[in-house]
Structure 1
Amino acid sequence: MSSSAPAKKPVVIYGVTGYTGRLVAEYLREYRVPFIAAGRDAKRIKEVLDKVPGIETAEYEIVEVEHTVAALTKLFSGAKVVCNMVGPFMKFGPEAVEASLAAGCHYTDTNGEQNWMMHAEETWGAKFAAKNLLLSPGVAQMYTTGEIAANICLEQPGLDTLDILVLWKGFPTYASTQTIFSILTANFYYLEQNKYVQWSPTAKSEVIVPGQHETAMALPWGGTAHPVWFKNDPRVANCKAQGGVFARPVMEGVVQITGVVEDQIKKMPKAEQEKALSDMAASLQAGMPPRENPRENTSVDSVHASGPLGRAHCVIHGICNYKQTGLLQAYLAYYLLQAPPKRVGFASGCQAFGHRELLGQLQAFGLVSAPQLTRNGVTVAA
């Protein structure tokens, strides 16, 4: 009697040893989705997963893999969804995307690099669409929760301008800090009349924070994903997004470092730029932050939408932004194992799965409150 080999587990978390990767594993466990935990160091992966709450009830396996297209293609083949956590993505993302395409897998990541978003759309969007596969980079709290708020505003017809603000309490993880610094040498853009317009490298704003009297400092944060996602949305002509953390000293530090980048680092050869920025990022955040505390780690996503004769404002208060990211990644995988996305090729989380569906998941797990919505100055049910 012959025995067949066990089926490949359908989801691959690539880069599971990082802060967000372990949260994706945690929420895949809650959705009861089997997964492969992959990365460069199997021993380190085991150490990390052993600390994930309830991991003993999850169905998973650990795989050590080289960061090459060939090795990743072999690993991904037979799976259906790749959740990539290995950034900075402009530096390390191409191998994972190429391997996902070759293996016939849907691809998602948590990047915050606008230049990577543009590159991914231009390079692989049509190729993924031709295979009925989803290419959905940037599914994370700092982008997707604000995108949900924007789409709630856009349920009112006749609004074509989005002013997006994303703020949270906490400190970026090591990987997030590396990403933040890696994009400081890139150009970044907002959307004006359906065209990309470059931000000033040193742009910053004082912003009004819903629910408090103090203002906060916000930065374009590399342009964010929103202008890219809304570039080809017929409802939207203009989109600016800014964000950051509530801690003003941290934001002032980023502004100061941006000045150093402009004056000194941009003049260096590319390899020296990367090392200098990576060293600066590591000096700020070299370790793993503690697990998020919902009493301390909160988020605010605020979107003003306007048109010639209309206004809408949506605010979503949340907790634990990295948990929001982990949940969104896990839900996308859970969804894709059962149904095709609403859009294939390059698409945002909301475009591929629906903004109300994603909001429902965040609320079901207690990570965001009900949206606060006003239309033309009148509070309405969201």
Structure 2
Amino acid sequence: MTTERRVLVYGANGYTGKIVSESLANRGIPHYFAGRNREKLEAALSIVAERFGSPVDAEIAVASNNPDELRPLFAKVDVVINVAGPFMQMAWPVVETALECGCHYTDTTGEQDWSRAIAEQYGQAFADKGLLLAPATSYMWSAGALAAEIVLENKGVDSLDIIYQIDRGLPSEASTKSFLRMVCNDQLYLDLNEYAAWDWDTLVDVHVPYRGASIRAFPWGGACEPIWYKDDPRVLNCKVLTAMGEHLIDGVKMAIDKFHEEALSLSQEEREAWTNTVGDTMHQGEPPKDNVTAQRSCIIVGGQGQTTTVQYVMNLSAPYTWTGEVSAEAAKQLLAGKLLKPGFQSVATAFNHRELLQTFHELGFTSAPPAPGTL
């Protein structure tokens, strides 16, 4: 692997940033470890080195999310991995500067409205430059897209019904604030290739293979799969539900109800402030790094067409750690020139989805992809 530093992680001192940096180190990818506060970056990088077991080939870079400060850094690299959220509130200068400087852009958002907004505003501009624009290069919502691509290999499937099931979820501070602003805004699905909104108080029982009892699930911000597959000629309908864990779901429901009681009539700026404040009250400090024993997940994708139905269940362990893995693997593929489609894409269509799944299986995170034609 080259020693040239061509990847930058922005917001690297946060929970997810440290995991992304470790995953890059595992691949031997030198990178910039960037953010707004040197002291916090230094402390975070020492944690990464401790987890990795030796010094990490990462150079600290300090910059606020201001184009004038970002531009000199982005001019040095080919890939920007943005992990500083909530993204709709903080990430506009980052994606705009990445485009200006000719960088591929990925981030770890779970925010559906952010993904839709940058797709509409910058998707074509990134494509024209041969650059990837891939928000949600993360467990939410790349895992479902990868599993969906397996289902879409089956001729005649045109509708996707996706469930994320997570055991013992551990939301970070940024995730807490992001999910609150997600679930307190419109949550969309695809209905005959048109966006439709879930009812704000949707909470349903879902049945997950290999579990005896039903569990409760939310639209959880709508997900990004409906955004990925909007105007994809293969897909007419796409819905996503998330069962994030019974230990969290009642608190989330209470937060949504409270939003509709207190903040529904507020301006968007006031709503954002409200969700940030509630997020601060819900956050319990940075959680420990997740692990494959405790934090396990299944992605269940049902596919339907006029004359066919099919289901694929994909195991996935340690969703946050896997977020680091998929972010780092996307960077590795970009550096190797393996981008299949530029512009606004999920990693599942930007790269070979089977190659990605096989890599993650060999690393111990996911089940093996089924042989073609065996579902």
Same fold by TM-score greater than 0.5:
yes
Following superposition, the deviation at residue 176 of structure 1 comes to 0.7
Paired-residue identity, %? 34
Say which SS state the counterpart of residue 73 (structure 1) adopts: helix
Task: Count residues with an aligned counterpart.
Answer: 371
- Map residues 286-325 of structure 1 onto 2, 5 A cutoff: 286-325=284-323
Say which SS state the counterpart of residue 25 (structure 1) adopts: helix
Q: Deviations over 1:122-159 (max 9, x none)?
A: 11111111111110111111211111111111111001
Say which SS state the counterpart of residue 228 (structure 1) adopts: helix
- 2:224 maps to 1:232: no
CA distance in 2, matches of 1:340, 1:371: 20
CA distance in 2, matches of 1:272, 1:118: 21
CA distance in 2, matches of 1:28, 1:216: 35
| Corresponding residue of 1:358 | 356
| Corresponding residue of 1:277 | 275
Q: Which runs of 5+ in 2 are unaligned?
A: none
Letter in 1 for 2:204: S
Say which SS state the counterpart of residue 255 (structure 2) adopts: helix
| Corresponding residue of 1:263 | 261
Say which SS state the counterpart of residue 166 (structure 1) adopts: strand
Following superposition, the deviation at residue 340 of structure 1 comes to 4.5
CA distance in 2, matches of 1:280, 1:210: 34
Q: Which moved more, 1:21-30 or 1:51-60?
A: 51-60
- Map residues 83-162 of structure 1 onto 2, 5 A cutoff: 83-162=81-160
CA distance in 1, matches of 2:360, 2:73: 30
- 2:12 maps to 1:16: yes
Q: Let me know the Cα RMSD of the aligned residues.
A: 1.8
Q: Are 2:65 and 2:91, in contact at CA under 8 Å, matched by a contact in 1?
A: no
| Corresponding residue of 1:4 | none
| Corresponding residue of 2:27 | 31
TM-score by length of 2: 0.95
Letter in 1 for 2:36: R
Following superposition, the deviation at residue 372 of structure 1 comes to 6.8
| Corresponding residue of 1:49 | 45
| Corresponding residue of 1:65 | 63
Q: Deviations over 1:294-318 (max 9, x none)?
A: 2211011000101111111000112
Q: Which moved more, 1:266-275 or 1:206-215?
A: 266-275
CA distance in 2, matches of 1:252, 1:301: 22
Q: Deviations over 1:326-382 (max 9, x none)?
A: 000001111111105111111111110121122112112101122579x9xxxx746
TM-score by length of 1: 0.93
CA distance in 2, matches of 1:257, 1:237: 32
Following superposition, the deviation at residue 244 of structure 1 comes to 3.2
Q: Are 1:315 and 1:371, in contact at CA under 8 Å, matched by a contact in 2?
A: no
Say which SS state the counterpart of residue 135 (structure 1) adopts: strand
CA distance in 2, matches of 1:207, 1:371: 24
Say which SS state the counterpart of residue 221 (structure 1) adopts: coil
CA distance in 1, matches of 2:38, 2:54: 17
CA distance in 2, matches of 1:86, 1:8: 24
CA distance in 1, matches of 2:291, 2:103: 34
Following superposition, the deviation at residue 271 of structure 1 comes to 3.7
CA distance in 1, matches of 2:55, 2:37: 23
Letter in 2 for 1:279: T
Following superposition, the deviation at residue 270 of structure 1 comes to 3.5
Letter in 2 for 1:276: W
Letter in 1 for 2:224: A
Q: Deviations over 1:12-40 (max 9, x none)?
A: 00001111111111111111111000001
Q: Deviations over 1:238-267 (max 9, x none)?
A: 0000103122x4112212221121222122
Say which SS state the counterpart of residue 182 (structure 2) adopts: helix
Q: Which moved more, 1:333-342 or 1:31-40?
A: 333-342
Following superposition, the deviation at residue 56 of structure 1 comes to 3.2
| Corresponding residue of 1:3 | none
Q: Which moved more, 1:271-280 or 1:355-364?
A: 271-280
CA distance in 1, matches of 2:263, 2:231: 34
